[in-house]
Amino acid sequence: MKKFKLFLLFLLVLTSINIAQKPYVLLVSFDGFRWDYLNRNITPNLEKIYSEGVRAISLQPVFPSKTFPNHISIITGMYPANHGIITNIFENPTTNEWYKLSDRNSVRNSKWYLGEPFWETAKRNGIKTACFFWPSSSVNDKNYKCDHYKLYDGKIPNKVRVDSVIAWLSKPYSQRAHFITLYFSDTDDYGHRYGPNSKEINVAISRLDSVAGYIVSSLEKIGMKDSVNVIFVSDHGMTEISKDKLINIEKLLSGFDVKLSNVGPLMMVEPKKNRIDEVYNYLKSHAKHFKVYKRDEVPEYFHFSKNPFIYSIVLIADLHWSLVDNEHVAMFTGKNEDNAGNHGYDNHIMDMHGYFVAEGPAFKRGYQCGTLLNIDIYPLLCKIFNIYPRSNIDGKLERIGFILR
């Protein structure tokens, strides 16, 4: 009996040690924060953070370098063709239903999402999670959602977002989230409206750098700066576009009966089944400033062919050029927003790359490295929490694990 009691005491001690050592991770997204925004001498807070932690030269997005596909690739470790969200807007050709990031009902419908987000992996392993915005974090599936989450509302001030996270971290230990996400759109909003080389984008960069500083100072106030691993990332970069560099694909194909999906750097075309080759050959013969591929011929390095929702023909614009239809010509030619900068182009082009900065007990100090892949962040998170990743992911720990202590 005495031995049994000692054994129970031993197990209790081991359990308390494991609880005490359970890490914290705060994953922060600055949407559209291009990799070289850190080189403009207007980000003193981020510079201090990576001087005490890790900075990559850049963070390579997946293709297409759009917001929803990339945020979901970051959190699932999968390419868009595998996690299901292939672009910001796409159709299920079988049911004629559309997924649109502007449609809250479709965005919250779990049937579109094939990957497992890290917060679900964490929850299965007894780790409490919280999301103050992240694409797919508010899906209508209790197994898919964070323990605590906020429905997206871009009007919520940045300071309120940070304060809410600090409140989550200030809860009693048994109720406290150990994995938390935060999201800010400033650099994406201003990058689209004014372009990545404008004085206005520098204001947005400086504003988000202040957010980074406020996050650190707030963690210090609650005595958790040395306990929380903070990872700052972005989903993609930004490049300048011009209203003089438009290609109206709908006008070009006016003699054909086709469906078009997406505008800008990427467009998908679905002709009638018996006219796919004809439309493809016609587009190929007129392909100036854009590339034309049949779905199965999209280069493997894009990982953008093995999904039934990708149309039969895929068009990819050259950098700075935009593919449009009749409906969206005005969006690219008028004096409204979304006409000075864009993203979604070839993810190997540096203008499309985001940034990666991390600091905390799990990371090396004063360490700089080359380009990292955003699909490798999911296995990195699993390593930090010492849990097993899903076996069907595309991310690989061996490409990123060296940044850990």
pLDDT at 10: 47
Three-state DSSP at 329 gives helix
Buried/exposed code over 11-28 (b: 16+ C-beta within 10 A; e: otherwise): eeeeeeeeeeeebbbbbb
How many independent structural domains does the chain possess?
2
Q: Note whether 299 and 352 are same-domain residues.
A: no
Contact in structure between 60 and 303 (CB atoms under 8 Å): no
Mean pLDDT, each 10-residue run in order, the chain (405 residues): 51 45 94 98 98 98 98 98 97 96 92 96 96 91 83 95 97 96 98 97 98 98 98 98 96 96 98 97 98 98 98 98 92 72 98 98 98 98 98 98 98
Give helix 44-51 / helix 199-221 axis angle, nearest 10°: 50
Measured distance CA(335)–CA(16) in Å, rounded = 61
Cβ proximity of 68 and 235 under 8 Å: no
CB 358 within 8 A of CB 403: yes
Q: Indicate which residue of 15, 43, 67, 121 is catalytic.
A: 67
What residue ranges in 266-361 does DSSP mark as E strands? 266-271, 290-294, 313-317, 322-324, 341-342, 356-359
Please indicate, yes or no, whether residues 162 and 220 belong to a single structural domain of this protein. Answer: yes
In three-state secondary structure terms, 354 is strand
My answer on whether 320 and 171 are in the same domain is no
- Say if residue 232 is in the same domain as residue 254: no
**Is 10 within the bounds of a domain?**
no
Position 14 scores a pLDDT of: 44
- Whether 7 is in a domain gets the answer no
In which domain, by residue range, is 328 found? 246-339
Q: And the tokens for 42?
A: 């207007």
pTM (predicted TM-score): 0.93
The predicted structure's pLDDT at residue 331: 79
The answer to whether residues 170 and 251 belong to one domain is no
CATH of the domain at 54: 3.40.720.10
pLDDT of residue 5: 52
**43 tagged catalytic:** no
Looking at residue 149, its pLDDT comes to 87
Residue 191 CB neighbours (<10 A): 31
Question: Is residue 305 domain-shared with residue 391, that is, in the same domain?
Answer: no
